[in-house]
Structure 1
């Protein structure tokens, strides 16, 4: 397992446990992340903290990594099975989602969600 894949494994583990501090430890302070609630992009760890607070008041999301692929430019593509439940536990969505991660040093600096790898 490469260092970047090990980092992403820790990231998904923290995400699925709801451990924001462990999640944030893997992020560049100026991380650029998609806002799947309001649209657009978020920049910075504190913006991510606010996103988690909003999301946790609305839904429960789990993302299980299925496959990691290191791209030619050094980014890592992760195929995931993402499930979304409402706060009562009812399943809203169960789908495959591809996340593309960009790195700054040893931390994640950007995440993108794509439909197809050729969009990366």
Structure 2
């Protein structure tokens, strides 16, 4: 999923998602729900931003995965807007990502 996300392959990302996925929309602070809504969000995001996401550590949790991710956000000119490490908490439903939460990585 992360390799596809980093190259803007929205259909490949969506193929990893549960039909009723709950996904963050960080710029508004809200969330989007469902594969079509996530696809629209990622497509729109790709018009202005280029994300590079590299998993650094993956840990199993009770209902999914905790993934420490090196995240670089660039504008369309390639200028770095953000270079940070984040924690993605993935809830798994029926073998697919049912929810993504983004937070601070553990110390």
TM-score band by shorter chain is over 0.9
* Runs (5+) with no aligned partner, structure 2: none
Segments ≥4 residues shifted beyond 6 Å: none
Q: Distance in 2 between matches of 1:17 and 1:59?
A: 11
1:114 corresponding residue in structure 2: 103
Determine which structure has the larger strand proportion and give its number.
2
2:14 corresponding residue in structure 1: 24
How many equivalent residue pairs? 106
Report the TM-score when normalising by structure 1. 0.83
1:34-66 CA-to-partner distances (Å, cap 9, x unmatched) read: 001222111001111111122112111111000
2:45 corresponding residue in structure 1: 55
Q: Distance in 2 between matches of 1:114 and 1:38?
A: 15
1:14 corresponding residue in structure 2: 4
Q: Distance in 2 between matches of 1:75 and 1:103?
A: 5
* Runs (5+) with no aligned partner, structure 1: 1-10
Determine which structure has the larger helix proportion and give its number.
1
